[in-house]
């Protein structure tokens, strides 16, 4: 199978996307075609045998073939002809804006490109942390209490410590732990550099956190192992940046079968039908043996390959069982009836 990996995009997580894309060379056995979207939203075909991070930071990628979109494919245009990339399926590997906010989903669907990734509705509820909270509660999954604030409105905190999060950012960008009133103003300034709205949640030191990735294929859930991520008060951007290059298999969390089933049940409720066609990772908290959703990662770093026993097989199986797009037949019956009535 030939997989077109679409990465980059206009996002604060642009560089992380590059790291994730390069990691796919080490974990996928299929033929890979790299399609890079730069800060101007221009697309380039990056040769698989020469891709490396310096190619992008130096601007050398602009010497690669540029691409345009037509129905069903990306194409290279020359003076007298154009050539399709002839890809079987596209993998959305752009983190943050463009990849996770629905821009790519809309683009792929408009141009009839088969793709692995969150659809438009899934992007809406997972990209915005405020909407994620409501979605989780509606699905019967608990979430931490929170307060929602927009820029230039007073932020009142009664109980510290808290964690401040930009509403539409990932990878811990703009996130701060605030332990007292003195730290609050600076943390808000940092968060508002990236977004016009923030969430304030209680910060619980030492809380148990578990990650689970998976997808639904022909109505059956395909789960990764449950991982307990590295212990740290807070995983900042730099730690998560390195994490996006992971290709070695993670260790399974040492938890009871009962807790593992609770986590999987919460994942199923979140994934539902909303995330069909995507391989996602959900990050959960466990407090007093109750499972709480922390975050939905609709395009997880390095596609969470390190959590699967056979990531390649999982992704190919998903690619072969993508949701069908319902064909809407336009008949113009209503317009014709109006015209007939006027004719009388």
Which residue is it, tokens 């990056």?
A: 46
CA distance linking residue 301 with residue 281, whole number of Å: 9
Computed over its alpha carbons, how large is the radius of gyration of the chain?
Answer: 22
Do you know the residue count of the chain? 344
CA distance linking residue 171 with residue 100, whole number of Å: 13
pLDDT of residue 81: 82
Can you give the pTM of this predicted structure?
Answer: 0.92
Question: Three-state DSSP class for 286?
Answer: strand
Q: Omega of the bond prior to 311 within 30 degrees of 0, cis?
A: no
Query: Tens-digit pLDDT profile for the chain (344 aa)?
Result: 999 999 999 999 999 999 999 999 999 999 999 999 999 999 999 999 999 999 999 999 999 999 999 999 999 987 778 899 999 999 999 999 999 999 999 999 999 999 999 999 999 999 999 999 999 999 999 999 999 999 989 999 999 999 999 999 876 888 999 999 999 999 999 999 999 999 999 999 999 999 999 999 999 999 999 999 976 555 555 555 455 556 667 899 999 999 999 999 999 999 999 999 999 999 999 999 999 999 999 999 999 999 999 999 999 999 999 999 888 999 999 999 998 887 65
Domains of the chain: 2-116 (3.40.50.20), 124-142+206-319 (3.30.470.20), 147-202 (3.30.1490.20)
CB-based burial, 313-339: b 16+ in 10 Å, e otherwise: ebbbebbebbeeeeeeeeeeeeeeeee
pLDDT of residue 64: 96
């Amino acid at each position: 199978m030939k997989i077109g990996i679409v990465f980059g995009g206009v996002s604060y997580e642009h560089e992380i996307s590059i790291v994730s894309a390069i990691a796919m060379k080490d974990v996928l056995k299929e033929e890979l075609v790299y399609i890079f979207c730069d800060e101007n939203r221009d697309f380039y075909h990056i040769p698989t045998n020469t891709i490396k991070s310096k190619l992008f930071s130096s601007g050398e990628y602009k010497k690669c073939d540029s691409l345009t979109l037509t129905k069903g494919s990306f194409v290279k245009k020359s003076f007298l002809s154009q050539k399709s990339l002839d890809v079987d399926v596209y993998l959305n590997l752009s983190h943050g804006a463009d990849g996770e906010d629905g821009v790519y989903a809309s683009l792929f669907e408009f141009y009839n490109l088969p793709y692995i990734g969150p659809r438009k509705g899934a992007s809406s509820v997972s990209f915005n942390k405020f909407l994620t909270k409501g979605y989780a509660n509606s699905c019967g999954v608990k979430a931490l209490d929170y307060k929602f604030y927009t820029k230039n409105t007073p932020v009142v905190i009664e109980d510290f410590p808290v964690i401040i999060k930009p509403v539409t950012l990932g990878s811990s960008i703009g996130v701060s732990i605030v332990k007292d009133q003195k730290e609050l103003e600076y943390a808000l300034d940092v968060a508002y550099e990236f977004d016009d709205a923030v969430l304030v949640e209680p910060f619980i030191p030492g809380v148990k956190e578990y990650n689970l990735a998976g997808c639904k294929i022909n109505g059956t859930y395909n789960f990764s192992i449950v991982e307990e991520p590295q212990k740290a008060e807070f995983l900042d951007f730099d730690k998560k940046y390195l994490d996006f290059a992971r290709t070695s298999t993670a260790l399974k969390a040492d938890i009871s079968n009962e807790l593992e089933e609770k986590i999987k049940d919460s994942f199923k409720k979140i994934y539902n039908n909303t995330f069909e066609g995507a391989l996602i990772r959900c990050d959960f908290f466990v407090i007093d043996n109750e499972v709480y959703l922390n975050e939905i990662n609709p395009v997880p770093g390095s596609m969470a390959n390190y959590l699967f026993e056979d990531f390649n097989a999982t992704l190919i199986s998903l690619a072969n069982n993508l949701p069908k797009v319902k064909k809407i037949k336009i008949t113009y019956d209503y317009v014709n009836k109006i015209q007939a009535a006027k004719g009388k």
